Structure formats: structure tokens, C-alpha cells
Amino acid sequence: MADFYQHGTIATLHRLGNPYYKRLEEEMNSLVRTSPLALVLPCHARDLKSTALAAIVAELCDARFLSHVTVGLDGGDASQFDLALRIFSKLPQQVSVLWNDGPRIRALLADLESAGLDPGPMGKGRNMRLCLAQVLAGTNAAAVAIHDCDILNYRRELLVRLCFPVMHPDMAFHVSKGFSARFSTQLNGRVMRLLIFPLLRAMEDLEGFSQTLAPLQFFRYPISGEVCLHRSVAGNVRFPSDWGVETGMMADVFRVAPMERICQVDIAESYDHKHQSLSEGDPDAGLNKMACDVALCLLRAATSGIVSKNPNQFTGLVEKFLQAARGMLRFYSADARINTLQFDGELEARTIQLFAASLERAISIHQVHPNKPAGGPSSQQTEAKLPGFGVALAQAANDDARG
């Protein structure tokens, strides 16, 4: 995305030409001597045998700028946990693997419930929350990066560019959000293009929007899984347990980080990962569920500061969304054509209709519990109510690894 455009709200750090990232990596290797960097990898058991994860591990073996890697394993039995330990034991960094379905961590999740700190259902958001708690309690990391385990064309450059703005003292950003072009033989990024962008536009007139969600419009890809957080932000940020995790996190960082300390950075020339199915017939799977979770997160975030909730505040929102989304289709069609990419206009229109139904479900859920927060408790909130939780989590990981 080689352009110079700055909208003046948050810094956009572009990828211009083919920069020599090794120079940045050499600087990173020096910076971490006094400011250690940790990496969180939320991982599902089904990804353990994937070629994507194998390539990521191979790249990270040469990442001398990382001091610690924390892997959160969801959906794994004992044998899959053992497999995860073997896979990540190849890394030279200090490695912790959280067996989130193991008896020790399940007991800690029960402690959260008893303390009134709802950990939420199993999902990427809960996984990330546990990993961040372990990093903050068990390491001296000055910053923590997060990225997914299903990136198909992973290069270490992605991580270097993501973390450099936070790690370099002259740049001194507290939040670095990754973005990149999402395409293959066609335009990808359906949830971003066909749900989030038009929904944010449709929500502009809602009470509370300007104070909460307006800055999200300046992000090119707020739903991306790549982010680097200063330690102070990582301990305070709140986010959902479900598919709304990335959107919820970015909606909340403006509460804990000054605007001038937030940036977005172009991390790769192109990006590809495992794509979710549309799941048109199943509202509890694929993009159908993801769209509902993301929309619900945005609704909750927008109304979080409103004391008296208006039951009619979302009247006409679905229609506004449909109008905005359908209006963008011509732009996407033109973008695909000029780049000689495939474009299925009928499928795109059907996806918008599906997302509209997901939005309707999200509105209904929100109206039943209008005061429910968009995100779960932060690590700092958890420690305040359940002192020593992070230390106990780190100890559970160590005990599980020893068997």
C-alpha cells in the first residue's frame, strides 16, 4: 500500500517499496537487551499439524529479538498438549504453553467465575486474555505482540515491522496495529469490507459513537490479528472472548492510550490466512457467527458511556447498513477489475444480506442485556479482585509442562 496519506488522527506507517527489514531487525536485537519483547500465539489444536504453523515456528527460530513466547492452546486433549510442547520446544526463546482445557487452568477459570470475573466461553478472546495475564505475571516483557497461527505466507519481517514502532524509544508508540493488503485471486477481507466499514458508517449518528467508535474508522484493518502493545496497555485493555476480540480491543485502546501513541503499520506486501466459510445456514458457525459477534461488540462499545439506554436507538440501523454496504459494491468491483482479480457480485451481495441478518441478531441480543460491557475484565482488574491470578496461571503452565 505505497502511499503517503496521513489523516491526522493516528499515525499510518506505510510500506514504501521493498524496505530492507534486516536493518530494522538488527536494531530490534539491540533494543530488547533493555526492553524485552514477548509474543503471544493463540492457537487451536486443529492448527498444530498445519503447514502454516510449521512455517511460523521455523521463522521464529531466528527471531533473536524475542525473549519469550506464550502459546495458548484451545481445544486440545493431553496428547495434543504434548504435541504442542514438542512443536514449540524447537524455539530458542523461553516458551510457555497454556493448556487451556487442562485441569489446572480449568480450575483457575472456575476461580474467575467465583470471583465474579466472567472469563467468557472458549474462544480466541479468552485465550488471549489468559496469555496476556501469564506474560504480565511471568515475564519482564516491556511489550507484547500478538498474531495468529494460521498465516499462510508468514515471514519474520511481519513481526519486526509490527513491533518496531513500540520498541524503538524515538518512536515510542504504545499500540501498533498491523494491516496489509488482503487478496489472492480475488478480494478477501469480507468481514472488514462488507460488515465493519459500512456498519461504522451506518452508526455515525448513534449517541455515543463519536466518543467511542469514531477513531476505528481511521484504521485500515481493525479486525486484523496482529498487534503490539506496550506493557501498560496490555494490562489495562479489555476485549470480548468471542470473534469480536480484535475489534473490541481496538475500540478500547483509545481509553487507555493517548491518540498520538497509537499507530497502524503496513506489515506485509500481501497477507493470506485460513478463510472461514460463510455458513449461510448456520448462525453459530463461520462468518455468520463472526459477523454477529463483531456487530454485538460494536453495539456494546458505542453505548457503553450512555446511562439511559434508548430502546429505539437502533431503529433503521440495518437499513442504513444495507444502503452503505451495497453502495460500496461498485467500488470493490472496480478495484477488482483494475487489478484483474475475480469478483463475484452476486456472492458479495448475498454476503451483505447475511451480515444484515447477523446485525439483526446482534441488536436483539444487545437489547436483552443493554448494559453488558463489550469486553471482559482486563488483567489489572483481574489482579485487583483475584490477587496472584497471573502468577498461578504461570505456575499452572510450568506444572503442566513438567507433567
DSSP class per residue in 135-147: HHHH---SEEEE-
Looking at the DSSP bridge assignments, the partners of residue 13 are 265
What's the predicted TM-score (pTM) here? Answer: 0.92
Q: Are 222 and 232 in contact (CB under 8 A)?
A: no
Burial level of 227, CB count in 10 A (0-12/13-18/19+)?
buried
Helical (H) or strand (E) element with 176: strand 175-180
CATH assignment of 11-402, among 3.30.460.10, 3.30.470.10, 3.30.70.60, 3.90.550.10: 3.90.550.10
CA atoms within 13 Å, Cβ hemisphere of 248: 30
- Cα distances from 251 to residues 141, 209, 240, 254, 256, in angstroms, run 24, 11, 11, 7, 10
CA atoms within 13 Å, Cβ hemisphere of 143: 30
* pLDDT for position 212: 86
Closest CA relative to residue 293, chosen from 225, 252, 247:
247
DSSP class per residue in 237-294: ----SSTTHHHHHHHHHHHHS-GGGEEEEEEES---BPPPP--TT-TTSHHHHHHHHH
Residue pLDDT tens, the chain, 403 long: 557 888 878 999 998 888 888 999 999 999 999 999 999 999 999 999 999 999 999 999 999 999 999 999 999 999 999 999 999 999 999 999 999 999 999 999 999 999 999 888 888 999 999 999 999 999 999 999 999 999 988 999 999 999 999 999 999 999 999 998 778 888 888 999 999 999 999 999 988 888 888 888 989 888 888 999 999 999 999 988 888 898 889 889 988 999 999 999 999 776 665 667 877 878 778 888 999 999 999 999 888 877 666 777 899 999 999 999 999 999 999 999 999 999 999 999 999 999 999 999 999 999 988 888 888 899 999 999 999 999 999 999 999 999 8
**Cell numbers standing for residue 328:** 460500496
Q: Are 246 and 297 in contact (CB under 8 A)?
A: no
Q: For the chain, what are the domain ranges? A: 11-402
* pLDDT for position 274: 63
Angle of CA points 335, 336, 337, to nearest 5° = 95
Q: Are 394 and 138 in contact (CB under 8 A)?
A: yes
| The one-letter amino acid at 112 | L
Write down the residue that cell numbers 497509537 correspond to.
Answer: 262
**Cell numbers standing for residue 283:** 448462525
